[in-house]
Amino acid sequence: MFEVKFTLVVVAIVVMGYFHNTIKREAAAWDAKGAVSSRAFKFGAAMLLVWCSVVIAGRLTGYLGALYSG
């Protein structure tokens, strides 16, 4: 289960990188429109989902980790 959590952390870091680049490119347009683009909203939702999965996987490590030992 630890491997799953670690993989999810790597995925979350990649998604955060894309989100950061989106913010840098589109921030001026957001200020002009007064609304966030749907692309940024999707990246934000994906980040939330992945980080929640990381937390859940971390909590399950103590319970499911014993299934894989010896």
pTM over 0.85: no
Residue of 6, 11, 5 whose CA lies nearest to 56: 5
Residue 60 pLDDT class (50, 70, 90 cuts)? confident
Q: Where are the alpha helices (DSSP H) in 1-70?
A: 2-33, 38-68
pLDDT digits (tens, 9 = 90+) for 34-54: 777 787 788 888 889 999 999
24 is in which domain, residue-wise?
2-68
Instruction: Specify the pLDDT at position 66.
Output: 64
CA distance 53 to 7: 11
Give the model's pLDDT for residue 9: 93
The percent of residues above 90 in pLDDT, for the chain, comes to: 20
Domain count, the chain: 1
Separation CA 59–CA 4 (nearest Å): 12
